Amino acid sequence: MFLRRAGIEQERMQQNKMADGTEEHILVIEAGRTHSRYLRDLWLYRELFLILAWRDIIVRYKQTVIGITWSILRPLLGMIAFTIVFSKIANLPSDNVPYPLTVYAAMLIWQFFSNTVSIGSESLLNNSNLISKVYFPRLIIPSTSMTVSLTDFLISALVFIPLFFYYRFLPDWRIVFLPFFVFLTILVSLGMTYMISALNVKFRDFRFAIPFALQLGIYVSPVGFISSVVPGKWRLLFSLNPLAGIIDGVRWSLFGTPLYLPSLVMSIVISVLLLAGGYFIFRAMEREFADVI
Amino acid sequence: MSKPVISVEHLSKYYEISHQKRGVDTFVESATAFGKGLIERIRHPFSPNRAHVDLEEFHALDDVSFEIEPGDRVGIIGRNGAGKSTLLKLLSRITEPTKGRIVMRGRVACLLEVGTGFHPELSGRENIYLNGAILGMKRSEVKAKFDEIVEFSGVEKFLDTPVKRYSSGMYVRLAFAVAAHLEPEILLIDEVLAVGDSEFQKKCIAKMNDISRSEGRTILFISHNTSAIQSLCKTGILLKAGKLAAAGKINDVLDLYQKN
Ligand SMILES: Nc1ncnc2c1ncn2[C@@H]1O[C@H](COP(=O)(O)OP(=O)(O)OP(=O)(O)O)[C@@H](O)[C@H]1O
Ligand SMILES: [Mg+2]
C-alpha cells in the first residue's frame, strides 16, 4: 500500500514541474490528492527547520550551567550505577576494556536514542499551536527535536577525553568508523520518533507507554554488558534490536573489541527499514494532524 | 488577461465529530472498540454496524465556489461557526479539503492569529526572527526589515527582554509588526485585530490599506468589526452555516448580513 502511494507521488511531481515552468507560483489544492511537492517543500522550509532547532537549543541552554551540567551528569551517573551492578556485583566480562569505558560508550548511544525519542514523540503535541495555525511540512517538527539531544550527546562525548587519559587508553584507526555508527543511531532514532510522534497525535494514551518502553529498552540493549555474554542461540533474536549491533559497532571502533557481523548487518537493514516505515506512517497520518490536534 | 488569483470550486470540508464523553481517541479504546466491533460482527453478522453510530459528519464548509481577482480586498463575514476560519485554513493548506479544488496564483501568507510560535523565554529580538520564519519570511528579509518592524511595534526599549515580561498589548504590537511586513501576493487574515487598543487597530488597518493599494496585493480579511471591513474591503463574501450565502459589493453583502 505504501509503495503504491509513493508511485502516485512521483507521477504528480512531474505534473507539477510542468505547471511550474510557467514562472508563476501556481498552487493547486485538491481533495484526496497526495502532497506531491513534499520533499521540495521540506527543502524550501529549511530555514524554518534551522530556526526551530536554534529555538530549542537556546531554550534548553538558557540556564547554561544547569543545561550543560545535566547533559554531562546523566550519562556519567548511569555509567557508575551500571558499572557497579554489572561489573562489581554480577561480575560480567568486558573484553579486557576498562568496564566504565565500555558502559560509557553504550550509555551515550542509548541516551542519545532515548532522549531523541522521548523529546521527539511529544514534539508535535508541544507545537500544536504551530500545526493548527500555519502550514509547513510537519516532518520538520520531530526532526528538529533531535538537535537538542544531538547537542547533549556531543557535549557528553567530550567526557571521553578525561576518561581515556585516566585509563591510559587510546583508540586506534578504527575510530574513523565512529561517525557511521552515530549516523545509524540517528536513523533509528528518527524512524522511531516519526512513528511515535504521529501516533501520539491521534492516540493520546500512547505517550504513557513510551517512558516505560524506554526504561525496559536499556536492559535489552547491550548497555550494562557486552553482547558476547548473550548465549549463542539468543544472539540473533537479541540483534533484532538495531541498537545492539550499533553499540557493538561503537565499541569495536573505540576499543577494537570483536564485531559480530550478522548483528551489524541486521542493524543496518533494520535502521533503514525503521526510518522508511516511520516516514511513511508519519506521511499517512500527517494530513489530519491539524484537525485532530 | 488577468486570471483570478484564487479560484475555489465546490470546496467542502467535513469534520468527523464524535459524541463521546471525551473528544480524544486513545489507542487502548480504539483497539478495544475494534475488538468489540469484531465480536459484534461475528455474533450478529447482519445487524447494522454500531461502531459508527456515534460518529457524525459535520459540514463546516459545504460546496463553496468563488473567484477572486488580483488586487481585490475581500471581507469574509458570517456568524460564529459559519466556516470562515475553516475556509482560510483550507486556502493556506493547514488542513485538506474533503471535496473540491482550489487554484491559487501567487505566494500565500496566512495570519490566523498574531504571534504564532512566539516563545515566552525568548527576547523580542529573537522572537521577531522566529515568528518571521514561521510566517514564511527568509532570514535575510527579516534582517532587512528589522528596524521597520521594531519601529512599527514601538517596543524598542524592550527588545532584549523576554516576551513573557511584555504587557499583552506590547506582545500583540510586536507580533502584528512582524506580520505587517510580510510580502506575499495573497494575504489571508483572520480576526487578528480584535486584540490591541483602538489606536493600534487604526494603525494596522491603515498599514493594510497601504500594502494593498500601493502594491496591488490581494487580501482576504475576516472580521466581525463592520467598520474595519468597510474601510478596508471592496468586495465581500457571506458565509452561512458553511454555505456561500452571498458575494459581491461589500456594502450589499453587509446589508444582507445585518438584515438577517
Ligand atoms: N478540528 C475540528 N474538528 C471538528 N470540528 C471543527 C474543527 N474545526 C472547526 N470545526 C467546526 O467547524 C465549524 C466552523 O468553524 P470555523 O472556525 O470555521 O468558524 P468561524 O466562522 O471562523 O467562526 P468564528 O466567527 O467564531 O471564528 C464550527 O462549528 C466548528 O465547531
Ligand atoms: Mg474563526
Best B10, B15, B27 member to test A by mutation, with max A CBs in 10 Å, is B27
CB-side neighbour CA atoms (13 Å) of B155: 28
DSSP B182: -
Place of cell 475556509: B87
Identify which ligand lies nearest to the alpha carbon of B77: 1
Judged by CB atoms closer than 8 Å, whether chains meet at B117 and A134 is answered as yes
Nearest CA residue ID for atom 1, ligand 1: A291
Find the B193 Cα to ligand 2 centroid distance in Å. Answer: 12
* Of residues B255, B222, B230, the one with CA closest to residue B78: B222
Ligand 1 pocket residue status of B128, Cβ below 6 Å: no
Radius of gyration (Cα) for chain B, nearest Å?
22
Residues of chain B in contact with residue A203, where contact means CB-CB under 8 angstroms, are 25-27, 30
Sheet holding B55-68, edge to edge: A26-30, B99-105, B6-18, B55-68
Judged by CB atoms closer than 8 Å, whether chains meet at B104 and A26 is answered as yes
- Look at residue B102 in the predicted model and tell me its pLDDT: 94
DSSP A175: G
Q: Residue B105, Cα to own-chain centre: how many angstroms?
A: 18
At B24, is the pLDDT very low, low, confident or very high (cuts 50, 70, 90)?
A: low
Tens digit of pLDDT at every position of chain A (293 positions): 333 333 333 334 334 444 444 446 788 888 876 666 788 888 989 999 999 999 998 888 876 677 778 888 889 999 999 999 998 888 888 888 999 999 999 999 999 999 999 999 999 999 999 999 999 999 999 999 899 999 999 999 999 999 999 999 889 999 999 999 999 999 999 999 999 999 999 888 888 889 999 999 999 999 999 998 888 888 889 999 999 999 999 999 999 999 989 999 999 999 999 999 999 999 999 988 988 88
A95 to chain B, closest Cα gap in Å: 44
* Of residues B118, B239, B227, B122, the one with CA closest to residue B179: B118
Grid cell of A180 as nine digits:
557511521
Of B13, B18, B85, the one to substitute when testing ligand 1's pocket (max ligand atoms within 8 A of C-beta) is B85
- The type of residue at A219 is Y
CA pair distance B31, A211, nearest whole angstrom: 21
Helix ranges (H only) for B112-259 are 124-134, 139-153, 168-180, 198-215, 226-232, 250-259
Q: What pTM value is reported for the model?
A: 0.87
Measured CA to CA in angstroms, residue A47 lies from A37, A113, A189 at distances of 17, 25, 22
Judged by CB atoms closer than 8 Å, whether chains meet at B122 and A134 is answered as no
Measured CA to CA in angstroms, residue A58 lies from A151, B127, B213 at distances of 11, 12, 40
Taking the CA of residue B242 as reference, the ligand 1 atom at the shortest distance is 14
Which stretches of chain A are assigned E, i.e. beta strand?
Answer: 26-30
The ipTM value here is: 0.84
DSSP letter string over A142-170? HHHHHHHHHHHHHHHHTTHHHHHHHTT--
CA pair distance B68, B212, nearest whole angstrom: 14
Q: Residue B92, Cα to own-chain centre: how many angstroms?
A: 8
Of B15, B18, B193, the one to substitute when testing ligand 1's pocket (max ligand atoms within 8 A of C-beta) is B15
CA pair distance A68, A60, nearest whole angstrom: 9
- The type of residue at B254 is L
Q: Does A170 touch chain B (CB under 8 A)?
A: no
